[in-house]
Amino acid sequence: MAEAGADTVLEGLNAAQREAVLTGSSHNLVLAGAGTGKTTTIVARLRHQLRQGVSPERLLAITFTRRAAAEIRSRVQAEIGVGGAQEGVAAMTFHGWAMRHVRNNPDVFGYEGWSVLDAEDQAQVMRGVVGRGKRVEGLKADQIVDVLSFARNTRITLAEAIRVKHPDQTIDAKAVGAIVRAFEERKRERQYLNYDDILMIFAERLKDPAVAAWVGSHYEEILVDEMQDTNPLQWLLIDPLVPHTRFYCVGDDAQSIYGFRGADFASIHSFRDRVPGARVLKLEDNYRSTQEILDLSNWLLDQSPLGYDKHLRAVRGSGAKPELHSFETPQDEAGWIAAEMMRARDDGQPWATHLILVRSNYSGRAIEARLVENDIPYVFYGGVKLLESAHVRDVLSALRVVSNPDDEIAWMRLLTLLPRVGDRTAARVFDDVLDARGAGLSAREARERALKGLPGWLAAGLDAIEEASARVDDAVGRAASMLTPVLAHKYRNDNWDARSRDLSHVERLAASRPSISAFIEEYLLSPVFTSELSQDRSDGDHVIVSTVHSAKGLERDWAFCAGVSAGAYPSARSLGDVDSIEEERRVLYVALTRARDRLIVTRTFAHTPVRAWVSTSAGLGFVEDAYFLGALPEALVREEVHTAARLPKPVSPPGAGVGGPREIDLGVDLGDLE
DNA sequence: AGCCATGGTATTTTT
DNA sequence: TACCATGGCT
């Protein structure tokens, strides 16, 4: 019986994958190139352990996103088949994992009743400290938040982080440090935790060997996905547990794209030093793409001064050449992508065949607009997250002030929804709440006193929410109906219908959650995208639009890599720093390696060389052409230049072209127009 | 003068 | 979703 089980676990795996699944070493690092069956191997490893009799709650998979966690859970569950009634394997993010321990063991960690802040709220707190619209040493509140987070995630000093993030400014780190101290003090007063605090609290307690032994004793094995994106702060959660449990880490240095968050792919190279006795295994056969797609991807890495020593080989063999399409404007580009998918649709190809990869949320918006226009169903990974959208935050602010009356950020948001109430008035009301609380009044009494001058429905509505708070979906429903009149006005010109639908989604998600704060926390630590929710009632056949960063693990028959223009790859902002440029190269590499059969690279103008000074460890060097596709050998792609067939338009004055002056070389390639 | 509402602009990547 | 400028109101 056990034998039969093992056979099912290993079915369809190649020799290297089997080796990786069966390894008996206590710590392992699996170096898995793009498309080599990374998730398959992780799932098989988990199933293997379950077959060996390990109980599921003693296994933990740390992933990057809610989606990756859900996929692992469901695949383990599905393939386990019989006995599926058992509790599934835990799969969650570093933050979700740390927070679970902190929440479940207040006596060990000492943080009871603290609320988690997302990036936006955190910036709001910092703005309060810095002063609205003000700067400290030339840095805006958001920039200080960023630099502080970078320092904490990389475990370097604030002064060093400032130098790294703002190399060309002279900044007095002491002045910034004073602001940071005030910021931390404010968070402590209000009992707020940000993302980094969660990891720090856990890491600090793990320094106690008894705590480390206790945490480690929960797990037979901890699997870490996307190991190359693990930063020094996250390593502080791993290191102390190494003696107490097994680690099974999976990653690919060529796909490291979170350097901006402190990840250093070199820590993968030094894995064996950090985790003594670890075994390193490699998966090198690519099952995803055709050789032509891998040839282009390999070429890109070969151009790098860093030796990746990586040449993916396609098990599937040969296919069509990747395509490179150039357009005059982003609108033309988006329009063509939509048209190309619709043409395929007419030939019977499902929408789900397609993946569109974009560099930024912002650039995805143009594509999104085209899909909406053409009624093409899509989900945007990396678009607006449900709990980050303005209307959802509005409603949640009402829940938050009930759940935690000292939540300043939530009070400010809620109060400024009211007509004739701005920052000043809201701040006064919040002060009244604090005063009343300080005088020993209950939350309800404090509200009654502080909200005197405001419309009566507010205090009454908050009371109703409080009464319903045992059923979180009910509380959400009451908050939404209380605020509907003001929200309908606030968003009257801004898609109120769709926003209103989102609020019902929130209500549905809140059902059976234990508390308001637990509900909010869950979706802050592993977010869902609004477009995921609006799509899930359809038959599931939809295009995926994704930022490259959110596209980890994704693959589709066709992949459109959009906006691969000069000045974008590498992004103009990364010029001047060789590490950032190389990270950009890996971003493009991740994008290219998503395609199974057809890789379509699109860009918006003919190439002009991007010249850059780059500082390297060897000194300052001049790069004549930093654009990754600048020296692309013709043989690797099939190139096509599209010029819009438009009615004649008035001639624009010289220099008034879209995006400023460019040398657009249109002369030679336009032969097909004649 | 203080406060609030509104419209136009620009935007790297995420837990 | 800021940020900024502008304009109206108290």
- Residue A613 is predicted with a pLDDT of 64
Helix A472-490 / helix A390-403 crossing angle, nearest 10 deg: 130
Rounded to whole angstroms, the distance from the CA of residue A428 to the C1' of nucleotide B3 is 13
- Please name the nucleotide lying closest to A389, CA to C1': C1
What is the distance between the alpha carbons of residues A205 and A212, in angstroms, rounded to a whole number?
8
Rounded to whole angstroms, the distance from the CA of residue A659 to the C1' of nucleotide B9 is 15
Q: Per the annotation, where are the binding residues of A for ATP?
A: 32-39
Neighbours of A85 (CB within 10 A): 5
- Residue A436 is predicted with a pLDDT of 94
- Residue A623 is predicted with a pLDDT of 65
- Residue A606 is predicted with a pLDDT of 60
- Residue A301 is predicted with a pLDDT of 94
Rounded to whole angstroms, the distance from the CA of residue A475 to the C1' of nucleotide B11 is 35
> Which residues 6+ apart lie within 8 Å of A265 measured at CB?
A228, A253, A256, A259
What are the pLDDT digits (tens) for A371-386?
999 999 999 998 889 9
| CB A573 within 7 Å, strand B | yes
pTM, to two decimals:
0.90
Mean pLDDT of chain A: 88
Q: Which residues of chain A have pLDDT under 70?
A: 1-7, 79-87, 536-538, 606-624, 644-674
What is the distance between the alpha carbons of residues A195 and A400, in angstroms, rounded to a whole number?
18
| Complete DSSP assignment for A559-574 | EEE----TTBTTBGGG
What are the pLDDT digits (tens) for A394-451?
999 999 999 999 999 999 999 999 988 988 899 999 999 999 999 999 999 999 999 9
- Residue A533 is predicted with a pLDDT of 86
| CB A390 within 7 Å, strand C | yes
What is the distance between the alpha carbons of residues A76 and A50, in angstroms, rounded to a whole number?
10
| CB A140 within 7 Å, strand C | yes
Chain B nucleotides covered by protein, CB below 7 Å: 2-5, 7, 11-15
Rounded to whole angstroms, the distance from the CA of residue A422 to the C1' of nucleotide B3 is 7
Q: Among all protein residues, pick the one whose CA is nearest to the C1' atom of B13.
A: A549
Rounded to whole angstroms, the distance from the CA of residue A423 to the C1' of nucleotide B3 is 9
Rounded to whole angstroms, the distance from the CA of residue A361 to the C1' of nucleotide B15 is 16
- Residue A653 is predicted with a pLDDT of 42
Chain C nucleotides covered by protein, CB below 7 Å: 1-4
How do A612-616 and A619-623 pair as beta strands?
antiparallel
Q: Per the annotation, where are the binding residues of A?
A: 32-39
Listed residue (A525, A501, A506) closest to A69, CA to CA: A525
